[in-house]
Amino acid sequence: MINYKVLGLSNTRELFKKAVDGGYAIPAYNFNNMEQLQAIIMGCAESNS
For residues 27-48, give the mean pLDDT: 91
Q: What is the pLDDT of residue 23?
A: 96
**Residue ranges of the domains in the chain?**
4-46
pLDDT, tens only, 2-30: 776 777 778 899 999 999 999 999 999 99
**How many angstroms separate the CA atoms of 17 and 43, rounded?**
24
Q: List Cα–Cα distances, 43 to 6, 12, 34, 48, in angstroms.
A: 14, 21, 14, 8
DSSP 30-48: --SSHHHHHHHHHHHHHTT
pTM score over 0.85: no
Report whether pLDDT(31) > 90: yes
Cα dihedral sign, 1-18-16-29: negative
